[in-house]
């Protein structure tokens, strides 16, 4: 029988529960431990087998020495938890997006992982949605001809949504390297959110294969009227010489190619997306050549694009990638972003960003 990997899940809020549940349901994993600073979040631990529980992740990590160190905590404590994962000796560290709160932190995480034996994945699990996959399939089939543009929009704000958008936009562009970005940012409202962000970020990405990336995230991003649920108002797609294909996070997929118009169902669904995401961790742990689609190296490149766009907004002009040195982009935004109120694209955004 294949090895059963022992998992410690740290942070048992919404996403921690999704992870614990998916690990528990997969015969290749057993949930050995669950940690949360809030003991109330551990009351359902029995649902995930006979896991040990505790409020101190470091103690549990030291005592359990898990194969997989998974954390689903707020975005403000990434580096410390990656360090804990590395020190625990885990072979795989699985954590939530965004990769980090700044390029400086992301670089420290990258260096820490590079100096360790741990592989790492970041939860861009929308990739497992049938509608997301269908678009990837159409792009890869060549049905769009020569792809020249990839694009992504979301009405949710940057540190929640841009990480997802950029990951899928890079996917639809075959993982090509980004050479430079140029962006703009507006609105200070969400700078005080835990997922601290400008209310609106927009910009362009130059990819090495000549493809143009276009990203919009937040208050000024276009509405996706086909989708009712606000957090799923995301449109991600690719345009080529022979047509286009796009996914709506909460509204299926559609394509127009030389052979006609087609469309199909799909809506982001954690229950459907998590099993494949978790199973690919087992495949990677079993065989190092079966690299997880949501691997850290790829997520890091996406994070660089996001922070490059913010730097461009701060400093003006184009920003060359890869970034040569780190900075705290959010702290700089807090200092420099003008006070003028963000302008909305649609009334649907008024609830979150004000009228
Ligand atoms: N991939 C996705 O689709 C997706 C969706 C929603 C949220 N997220 C991300 O997941 C992360 C968590 O979001 P959430 O909605 O589950 O938040 P949440 O607030 O529901 O849960 C976070 C949990 O972490 C615990 N915690 C905080 N500090 C801790 C520490 N030092 N040690 C142990 N536990 C600690 C909190 O008590 C809380 O229970 C965020 O980064 C968010 O951006 C991802």
Per-residue pLDDT of the chain (355 residues; tens, 9 = 90+): 578 999 999 999 999 999 999 999 999 999 999 999 999 999 999 999 999 999 999 999 999 999 999 999 999 999 999 999 999 999 999 999 999 999 999 999 999 999 999 999 999 999 999 999 999 999 999 999 999 999 999 999 999 999 999 999 999 999 999 999 999 999 999 999 999 999 999 999 999 999 999 999 999 999 999 999 999 999 999 999 999 999 999 999 999 999 999 999 999 999 999 999 999 999 999 999 999 999 999 999 999 999 999 999 999 999 999 999 999 999 999 999 999 999 999 999 999 999 6
Query: CA–CA separation, 266 vs 350, rounded Å?
Result: 27
213 close to 234: Cβ distance less than 8 angstroms: no
**Ligand 1 center–CA 12 separation, angstroms:** 7
Query: What pLDDT does 212 receive?
Result: 98
Query: What pLDDT does 80 receive?
Result: 98
Query: What pLDDT does 185 receive?
Result: 98
**Ligand 1 center–CA 276 separation, angstroms:** 21
Dmax (CA) of the chain:
62
Q: Which of 11, 234, 273 for mutating ligand 1's site (highest number of atoms within 8 Å of CB)?
A: 11
Q: Is the CB of 249 under 6 A from ligand 1?
A: no
Query: What pLDDT does 302 receive?
Result: 98
Q: Is the CB of 111 under 6 A from ligand 1?
A: no
CA nearest 309: which of 191, 190, 216? 216
Query: CA–CA separation, 349 vs 207, rounded Å?
Result: 30
Q: Is the CB of 216 under 6 A from ligand 1?
A: no
Q: Is the CB of 96 under 6 A from ligand 1?
A: yes
Q: Name residues whose C-beta falls within 8 Å of residue 171's C-beta, 6 or more positions apart in sequence.
A: 127, 136, 293
**Ligand 1 center–CA 29 separation, angstroms:** 21
Strand partners, 31: 7
pTM of the model: 0.97
Q: Is the CB of 273 under 6 A from ligand 1?
A: no
Residue 320, helix vs strand vs coil: strand
Q: Is the CB of 232 under 6 A from ligand 1?
A: no
**Ligand 1 center–CA 196 separation, angstroms:** 14
**Ligand 1 center–CA 127 separation, angstroms:** 20
- DSSP H helices, the chain, are 14-25, 57-64, 78-87, 103-114, 130-141, 158-172, 270-286, 296-315, 329-336, 350-353
Query: What pLDDT does 3 receive?
Result: 83
| CB-count burial class (<10 Å; 0-12, 13-18, 19+) for 2 | exposed
Strand partners, 4: none
Query: What pLDDT does 2 receive?
Result: 72
Q: Is the CB of 231 under 6 A from ligand 1?
A: no
Q: Is the CB of 36 under 6 A from ligand 1?
A: yes
Q: Is the CB of 73 under 6 A from ligand 1?
A: yes
**Ligand 1 center–CA 53 separation, angstroms:** 17
Torsion angle of the four alpha carbons 31, 33, 34, 39, in this order, in degrees rounded to the nearest 10: 140
Query: CA–CA separation, 151 vs 173, rounded Å?
Result: 10
Q: Is the CB of 105 under 6 A from ligand 1?
A: no
Strand duo 92-95 + 243-248: pairing = unpaired
Query: What pLDDT does 315 receive?
Result: 97
């Amino acid at each position: 029988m294949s090895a059963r990997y022992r998992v410690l899940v740290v942070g048992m809020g919404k996403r921690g529960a999704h992870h614990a549940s998916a690990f528990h349901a997969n015969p290749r994993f057993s949930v050995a431990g669950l940690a949360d600073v809030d003991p109330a979040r551990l009351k359902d631990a029995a649902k995930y087998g006979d896991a040990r529980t505790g409020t101190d992740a470091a103690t549990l990590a030291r005592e359990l020495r898990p194969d997989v160190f998974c954390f689903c905590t707020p975005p403000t404590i990434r580096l410390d938890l990656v360090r804990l994962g590395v020190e625990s000796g885990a072979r795989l560290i699985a954590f939530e997006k965004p990769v980090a709160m700044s390029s400086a932190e992301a670089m420290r995480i990258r260096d820490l992982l590079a100096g360790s034996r741990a592989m790492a994945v970041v939860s861009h699990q929308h990739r497992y949605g049938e509608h997301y996959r269908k678009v990837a399939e159409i792009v890869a089939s060549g049905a769009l001809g020569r792809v020249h543009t990839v694009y992504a929009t979301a009405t949710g704000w940057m540190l929640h949504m841009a990480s997802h958008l950029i990951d899928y936009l890079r996917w639809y562009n075959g993982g090509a390297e980004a050479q430079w970005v140029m962006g703009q940012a507006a609105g200070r409202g969400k700078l005080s959110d835990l997922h601290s962000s400008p209310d609106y970020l927009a910009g362009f990405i130059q990819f090495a294969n000549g493809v143009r990336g276009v990203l919009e995230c937040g208050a000024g991003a276009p509405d996706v009227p086909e989708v009712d649920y606000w957090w799923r108002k995301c449109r991600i797609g690719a345009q080529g010489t022979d047509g286009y294909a796009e996914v709506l996070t909460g509204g299926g997929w559609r394509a127009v190619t030389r052979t006609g118009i087609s469309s199909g169902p799909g809506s982001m669904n954690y229950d459907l997306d998590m099993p494949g995401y978790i199973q690919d961790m087992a495949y990677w742990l079993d065989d190092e050549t079966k690299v997880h689609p949501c691997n850290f190296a790829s997520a890091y490149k996406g994070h660089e694009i996001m922070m490059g766009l913010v730097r461009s907004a701060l400093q003006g002009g184009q920003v060359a990638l890869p970034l040569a040195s780190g900075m705290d982009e959010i702290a700089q935004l807090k200092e420099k972003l003008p006070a003028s109120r963000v302008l909305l694209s649609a009334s649907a955004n008024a609830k979150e960003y004000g009228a």
